[in-house]
């Protein structure tokens, strides 16, 4: 099946088992397992720890080769390591697979106490829930305060939630290619992706056979999503209206390739749960609005966006920058939203500026 399951090679993962957890919107998980990876050495006072937050289909494998247990190479390779922007000779870097995910942390494909996959019974989780689980991990690791919390896209949501919910535990915030609240455009795109997954006859209400998963619906969802991740300029320059020898448009073949890749490594249930989490995101909910929530942040902050991003356009980062009283930094890139993953040299320079 797609995603990591018990019995698969562990790879570089480490696991922590947490006690019962009650999501804020109801339901209960009798226990939570969190999968994480680390790089560098934690200082005696715990003060050199950096939390890196992954995006929707990312995982704890920020850097490192593909291999047993890791279907893909590190998703932010070049940003973490000796001498890198997040210098592991200086920092202890942590990345955890998110609650609701499918790469070792408890999610819909995980077994319940009776050994049955959670499936449709998996509770709704919020960004706040995910951060509370990460806080429990930090406690277990002996980290009272992060030197920095950094993330882009869905990872940016968790980074901002950390800085707002627990300002005393965040020394610096790196917020990239994300927003303070889900927009109608993002919700509309993501609910359409969810509809594609649920329309697959194998979805079975979320209780599908993992050996016969709804990969067709997930593949359509990925195609829709990938169009929002890249820029129209890039697609035009790379593919134009070119038709391949097999009669397919080149851009359609490209999207099919990415759909197939995701279907081999990601769980459809996690895709639905996590996009629902993103749809519910609003850092100002219960805090008097976005401006009031941002006023709680005490961390040194860098807020950055990608100039060609059409999923999280720079005006969304401008709102956060204005609320934090810092200048917006814009990364030039032809790649759209995915520029936050691709333009590692430019992103790394901003991280170095934040953590001199």
| CA 236 from centroid of its chain's CA atoms | 27
Sequential DSSP letters for 80-149: EETTSSEETTT-EEEEEPPTT-SSSS--TTSB-TTS-B-GGGSPP--HHHHHHHHHHHHHHHT-SSBSEE
Which residues are marked as active site? 153, 309, 337
Q: At what angle do helices 154-165 and 127-141 cross, to 10 degrees?
A: 70
Q: How far is CA 45 from CA 16, 83, 138, 171, 250, in A?
A: 21, 22, 13, 14, 54
Residue 185 and residue 208 in contact, taking contact as beta carbons nearer than 8 Å: no
| CA 184 from centroid of its chain's CA atoms | 20
Nearest alpha-carbon partner for 262 in 9, 75, 116: 75
């Amino acid at each position: 099946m797609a995603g990591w399951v018990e019995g698969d090679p562990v790879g570089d993962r480490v696991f922590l088992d947490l006690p019962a957890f009650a999501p804020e919107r109801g339901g209960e998980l009798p226990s939570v397992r969190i999968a994480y990876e680390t790089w560098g050495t934690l200082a005696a006072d715990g003060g050199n720890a950096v939390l890196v937050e992954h995006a929707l289909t990312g995982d704890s494998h920020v850097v490192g080769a593909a291999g047993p247990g890791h279907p893909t190479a590190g998703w932010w390779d070049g940003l973490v390591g000796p001498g890198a922007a997040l210098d592991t000779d200086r920092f202890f870097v942590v990345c955890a697979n998110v609650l609701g995910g499918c790469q070792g942390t408890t999610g819909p494909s995980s077994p319940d106490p009776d050994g049955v996959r959670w499936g449709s019974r998996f509770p709704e989780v919020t960004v706040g829930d995910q951060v509370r689980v990460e806080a429990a991990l930090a406690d277990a690791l002996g980290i009272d305060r992060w030197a920095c919390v950094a993330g882009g896209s869905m990872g940016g949501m968790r980074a901002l939630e950390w800085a707002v919910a627990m300002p005393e535990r965040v020394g610096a915030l790196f917020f990239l290619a994300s927003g303070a609240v889900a927009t109608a455009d993002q919700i509309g795109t993501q609910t359409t992706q969810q509809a594609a997954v649920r329309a697959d006859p194998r979805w079975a209400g979320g209780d599908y056979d993992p050996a016969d998963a709804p990969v067709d619906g997930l593949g359509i969802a990925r195609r829709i999503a990938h169009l929002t991740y890249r820029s129209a300029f890039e697609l035009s320059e790379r593919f134009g209206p070119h038709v391949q020898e097999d009669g397919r448009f080149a851009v359609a073949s490209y999207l099919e390739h990415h759909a197939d890749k995701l279907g081999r490594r990601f769980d459809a249930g996690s895709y639905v749960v996590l996009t629902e989490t993103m749809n519910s995101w609003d850092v100002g909910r219960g805090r008097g609005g976005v401006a009031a929530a941002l006023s709680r942040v005490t961390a040194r902050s860098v807020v950055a966006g990608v100039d060609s991003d059409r999923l999280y356009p720079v005006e969304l980062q401008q709102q956060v920058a204005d609320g934090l009283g810092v200048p917006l930094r814009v990364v030039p890139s032809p790649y759209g939203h995915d520029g936050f993953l691709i333009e590692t040299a430019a992103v790394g320079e901003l991280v170095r500026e934040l953590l001199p």
